[in-house]
């Protein structure tokens, strides 16, 4: 395997924190550079650079300094935060992506990873087993920026031959890193509150079904996509990517098997609207066929593992 130097933009975030660990294990500690617009809360060791993705000169400086061969561009505002500041979200999510794509072409970066989301779908997309190619009418600024981003990724692949790969992440559930500003975040908070207080007030209605995935699967799948032979990939926008789907009531019932006294209440807020515009479940057949994607964690396995790990934080 040729030597790779990998830059993660947004390595303090929910996905970035875990990718940094896994990529360092796979590619060598010193070959993976973490970066974010602020210092991590806890030192992560190894190479770390402060980068605002809107500052193209700074990005170029770091990419040249390390002779970066791969970039994982994760810096973005998620659905709920983006809705509070739509113009700032559009600027960060789109201009940040352009800066990365343009520098990748100029500096001949070998591969780029950019995360898309189930938020690219909308109320007129099929709700269940939403296919890879279908009606896409996102209603959140986050979803609009992800759909536009997908189109630009495809465009840079076609026009410049840039090897860009992308996944439409469902809600991600993790114990090492906290989510921030998303609609699916309830599925992480619920574990910490169940263990600390025995109760949780959910900001979605009890029957709001959404596609979800355990972080271990998401990280493994992401790296597998990045390592797949280019000629196996049939899409350069975003692959549908799925593992499980459930409602808050179903998740609470599974948690109650371990914490019988756990009580969930519901107080839906504006995030309900965003969730209702998204699919309930996803058909990821093409990812499974193209690069062999296969999830390992279903909902019961995820709950067991989350509770075992989250107990250490209480």
For ligand AKB, which residue of 171, 221, 238, 248 counts as binding (CB under 6 A)? Answer: 171
Which among 27, 142, 169, 239 is annotated as catalytic? 142
| Distance in Å, CB of 132 to ligand AKB, minimum | 17
Alpha-carbon gap, residue 250 to 245, rounded angstroms: 10
Is residue 191 classed as helix, strand or coil in its secondary structure?
helix
* DSSP-derived pairing of the beta strands 164-169 and 111-117: parallel
Site for ligand AKB in 114-153 (CB under 6 A): 117-119, 142
Comparison of 119 and 251: residue with beta carbon closer to ligand AKB: 119
Choosing from 34, 96, 122, 182, the residue that interacts with ligand AKB (CB under 6 A) is: 182
Question: Catalytic residue at 29?
Answer: no
Beta bridge pairs of residue 258 = none
Measured distance CA(186)–CA(179) in Å, rounded: 9
- In contact, 109 and 68? CB cutoff 8 Å: yes
Our finding on whether 78 is near ligand AKB (CB under 6 A) is: yes
Return the beta strands (E) in 76-138 as ranges: 111-117
Query: Quick one: which of 184, 208, 237, 240 contacts ligand AKB (CB under 6 A)?
Result: 184
How does DSSP classify residue 130? B
Which C-beta is closer to ligand AKB: that of 31 or that of 125?
125
Question: Which distant-in-sequence residues (6+ apart) come within 8 Å of 224 by Cβ?
Answer: 291, 292, 293
Place of tokens 């515009």: 277
- The Cα–Cα gap between 169 and 115 comes to 7
Closer Cβ to ligand AKB, 47 or 146, answer by number: 146
79 binds ligand AKB (CB under 6 A): yes
Q: Which is nearer to ligand AKB, 75 or 119 (CB)?
A: 119
User: Rg of the chain's alpha carbons, rounded to an integer?
Assistant: 19
Tell me the closest approach of the beta carbon of residue 197 to ligand AKB, in angstroms.
23
Stretches 62-70, 178-186, 222-230, 258-266: which one binds ligand AKB (CB under 6 A)? 178-186
Closest to ligand AKB by CB, 74 or 195: 74
Interface with ligand AKB: number of residues (CB under 6 A): 11
> Is residue 168 packed enough to be buried (19+ CB in 10 Å), middle (13-18) or exposed (0-12)?
buried
Should residue 169 be labelled a site residue for ligand AKB when binding is judged by CB under 6 A?
yes
Active site amino acids? 142
Residues found near ligand AKB in the complex (CB under 6 A): 78-79, 117-119, 142, 169, 171, 182-184
């Amino acid at each position: 395997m040729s030597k790779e130097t990998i830059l993660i933009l947004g390595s303090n975030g929910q996905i970035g924190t875990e990718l940094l660990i896994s990529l360092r294990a796979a590619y060598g500690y010193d070959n993976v550079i973490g970066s974010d617009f602020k210092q991590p809360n806890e030192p992560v060791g190894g190479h770390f650079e402060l980068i605002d993705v809107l500052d193209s000169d700074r990005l170029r400086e770091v990419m040249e300094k390390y002779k970066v061969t791969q970039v994982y561009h994760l810096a973005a505002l998620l659905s709920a935060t983006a809705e509070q500041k739509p113009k700032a979200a559009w600027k960060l999510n789109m201009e940040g992506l352009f800066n990365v794509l343009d520098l990748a072409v100029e500096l001949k970066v070998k591969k780029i990873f950019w995360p898309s989301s189930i938020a690219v779908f909308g109320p007129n997309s099929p709700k269940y087993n939403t296919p890879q190619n279908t009606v896409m009418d996102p209603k959140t600024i986050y979803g609009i920026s992800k759909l536009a981003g997908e189109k630009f990724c495809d465009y840079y692949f076609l026009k410049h031959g840039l090897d860009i790969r992308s996944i439409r992440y469902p809600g991600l559930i993790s114990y090492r890193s906290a989510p921030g500003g998303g609609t699916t975040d309830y599925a992480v908070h619920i574990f910490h509150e169940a263990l600390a207080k025995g109760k949780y007030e959910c900001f979605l209605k009890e029957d709001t079904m959404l596609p979800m995935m355990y972080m271990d699967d998401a990280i493994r799948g992401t790296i597998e996509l990045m390592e797949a032979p280019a000629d196996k990939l049939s899409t350069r926008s975003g692959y549908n990517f799925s593992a499980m789907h459930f409602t808050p009531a179903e998740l609470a019932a599974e948690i109650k098997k371990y914490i019988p006294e756990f009580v969930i209440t519901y107080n839906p807020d504006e995030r309900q609207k965003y969730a209702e515009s998204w699919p309930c479940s996803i058909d990821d057949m093409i990812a499974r066929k193209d690069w062999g994607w296969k999830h390992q964690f279903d909902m019961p396995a995820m709950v067991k593992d989350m509770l075992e790990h989250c107990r250490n934080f209480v």
